[in-house]
Amino acid sequence: MAEAEFLETAKGRRLAYNKSEGSGPTVVFLGGLKSDMEGTKAVHLEAWAKARGQAFLRFDYSGHGESSSTFEEGCIGDWHEDTVAAVEALTEGPLIVVGSSMGGWQALLLAKALPERMAGMVTIAAAPDFTEDGYWASFSDAQKAALETVGHVELPSDYMEPYVITKRMIEDGRQRLVLRAPLNLPFPVRFLQGTADTAVSTETAVRLLEHADGPDMRLLLVKDADHRFSDGPCLELIEQAVLDVMPSQ
């Protein structure tokens, strides 16, 4: 495991990252909620990029991995600020952005913030607007009341300890929704989605495909792949998707 370097952002956050130099466009990996840059997909894609001589960046949002703060203090907007800060400080030129789960939402937000930098995008079980369409939409009256009185609720996870979802995360998420307004992606995009994913539904993937507008956009459904999307065949599909959106040299 490579030792992390750290970036101090203008917002006072300390972000852990690993960057490898190479030719452009730079491949940037954006991880999921409560995951970190040492995850299987991030590390595999870094090794793949290094073997190609391709520039690559992976990092931890604040409250994740080795970065500062705690998960419970963060929200979608904070992690968007972290993403923009890392990209602007640590990369130059065109980007191929690979977003996993919540990182898919972050990839879409980054495309809106820095459209001139985007050369291509790959998402893996993208979860846009999940704070509203997943969490809030499924909350009981008691859970909604707890957000007001306690300030948070705890939700079980199939993959780790319970998620603590705060009132701030829900309210901030409403300011970052991408499926309620035009979403223009004028570059090659590949959406990858497993049919056995219990965290993000195929319906979400289809909704994103139908909602977004772009000249070269495809959704690949992989039968029986789960939310991790990190076994050998799935990792190869991610590699191929990145090549598909790579500008011709």
Residue 159 banded pLDDT, cuts 50, 70, 90: low
Strands (E), the chain: 5-8, 14-20, 23-30, 54-59, 95-100, 118-124, 152-155, 163-166, 189-194, 217-222
In the chain, pLDDT over 90 holds for what percent of residues?
Answer: 94
What is the per-residue pLDDT for 168? Answer: 96
What is the per-residue pLDDT for 161? Answer: 76
Q: What is the dihedral of CA 143, 145, 151, 155, to 10 degrees?
A: 0
| Mean pLDDT value of segment 157-185 | 91
Residue 176 banded pLDDT, cuts 50, 70, 90: very high
Is 76's pLDDT higher than 90?
Answer: yes
- Which H/E stretch holds residue 82? helix 76-90
Cα–Cα distances (Å) from 212 to 105, 195, 227, in that order, read 12, 21, 22
CB neighbourhood size of 77 (10 A):
16
Long-range contacts of 145-151, Cβ-Cβ distance < 8 Å, separation of 24 or more? none
Query: Beta strands 23-30 and 5-8: pairing type?
Result: unpaired
Residue 185 near residue 217, CB atoms below 8 Å: yes
Q: How far is Cα 32 from Cα 124, in angstroms, rounded to an integer?
A: 10
Classify the phi-psi angles of 226: left when phi > 0, otherwise alpha if psi is within -120 to 50, otherwise beta. Answer: beta
Residue 160 banded pLDDT, cuts 50, 70, 90: low
pLDDT, one tens digit per residue, over 84-103 is: 999 999 999 999 999 999 99
Q: What is the dihedral of CA 84, 89, 244, 48, to 10 degrees?
A: -120
Indicate the length of the chain as a whole number. 249
Is 1's pLDDT higher than 70?
Answer: no
pLDDT, one tens digit per residue, over 43-58 is: 999 999 999 999 999 9
pTM score, two decimals?
0.96
Cα–Cα distances (Å) from 9 to 31, 59, 91, 227, in that order, read 19, 13, 14, 31
Residue 146 banded pLDDT, cuts 50, 70, 90: very high
| Mean pLDDT value of segment 66-92 | 97
Is 156's pLDDT higher than 90?
Answer: no
CATH code of 5-129+181-245, in short, is 3.40.50.1820
Domain residue limits, the chain: 5-129+181-245
What is the per-residue pLDDT for 24? Answer: 87
| Mean pLDDT value of segment 13-32 | 97
- Which H/E stretch holds residue 113? helix 102-113
Residue 180 banded pLDDT, cuts 50, 70, 90: very high
